[in-house]
Structure 1
Amino acid sequence: MSAERRHFARVAFNTPATLTTTDDRIQVHVLDLSLKGALLQLPAADQVQGGQPCLLEVRLAEGVRVTMAAEIAFAQDHRAGVLCRAIDIESVTHLRRLIEVNLGEQGLLERELKALVSA
């Protein structure tokens, strides 16, 4: 049996992003996104700590960004998971569309949105 605890589908997404913590502004690489957070590849020299508040900004296209206030859920082996704590309506709209296109199943996205709202 798998130890997988994720309740939200992740979309593989290969793009640079900026992670701002209380101590630093780090150029990271997004490995995947979900309605509830992201998995990031960190540069070798930079480290973050679990529980640390942060702001993640992902540029999807010219003038199109997803920005979320988040918390570092874990950091290990130059990777970090961030848990979304707050997101503006424009960002969640862009993120929803990205996930919808990549999932290819409207019903699954609607279930995830309901789970997000009830959480």
Structure 2
Amino acid sequence: MTAQDSGTAANQAQRAFTRIFFDAETVATQEVAGEPRFWPVELVDISLQGILIRILPDQHIDPDSPVEINIHLGGDVQICMETEVVNQREDCLGLTCRHIDVDSMTHLRRLVELNIGDTSLLERELHALT
């Protein structure tokens, strides 16, 4: 096992939330010099705790400022959350959820529930959020 492998194993052991690989139209918004900047980003995965996105080389997201995320699920259904950058590796940013409205949390919970198929695991993850 290499140092990189043990680091990955440690990250997996610390991760208390199931990641769902999911593809949906996603937009990151961040205030830059007092003006909102909008970037279409690639949603890599999502969990009850946050998301992983991939950005383009010309996109710069300030890791020290909040990032609004809008994930369009179809029609007028979307998940909106305020996040902050917790890690960056090359073109991928890990964002943790700092605030999410009730409707968005309901959609996120249903998305996770449909993808993990284990109600007890979902309840354990929801309990870990409190």
TM-score norm. by structure 2 comes to 0.85
- The root-mean-square deviation of aligned C-alpha atoms, in Å, is 1.2
Query: Which residue, 22, 37, 41 being the options, matches 1:13?
Result: 22
1:95 is paired with a residue of what secondary structure?
helix
Does the aligned pair in 1 maintain the 2:25–2:73 contact within 8 Å? Answer: no
Does the aligned pair in 1 maintain the 2:85–2:94 contact within 8 Å? Answer: yes
- Which consecutive residues of structure 1, in runs of 5 or more, have no partner in the other structure? none
Query: Which residue, 80, 84, 89 being the options, matches 2:93?
Result: 80
How far is the alpha carbon of 1:105 from its aligned partner? 0.2
- Which consecutive residues of structure 2, in runs of 5 or more, have no partner in the other structure? 1-5
Map 1:1-119 onto structure 2 (within 5 A): 2-4=9-11, 5-23=14-32, 24-117=37-130
Does the aligned pair in 2 maintain the 1:55–1:68 contact within 8 Å? Answer: yes
Distance of 2:122 and 2:83 partners within structure 1: 21
1:24-45: per-residue Cα shift (whole Å, max 9, x none)? 2111010100111100010121
Aligned residues: 117
One-letter code of the match for 1:12? F
Does the aligned pair in 2 maintain the 1:12–1:33 contact within 8 Å? Answer: yes
Higher helix fraction (1 or 2): 2
One-letter code of the match for 2:76? G
Distance of 1:109 and 1:43 partners within structure 2: 33
Distance of 1:43 and 1:52 partners within structure 2: 18
How far is the alpha carbon of 1:47 from its aligned partner? 2.0
How far is the alpha carbon of 1:12 from its aligned partner? 0.4
Indicate the larger mover: 40-49 or 83-92.
Answer: 40-49
Identity between Structure 1 and Structure 2 (%): 34
One-letter code of the match for 2:90? D
How far is the alpha carbon of 1:49 from its aligned partner? 3.2
Moved over 3 A (4+): none
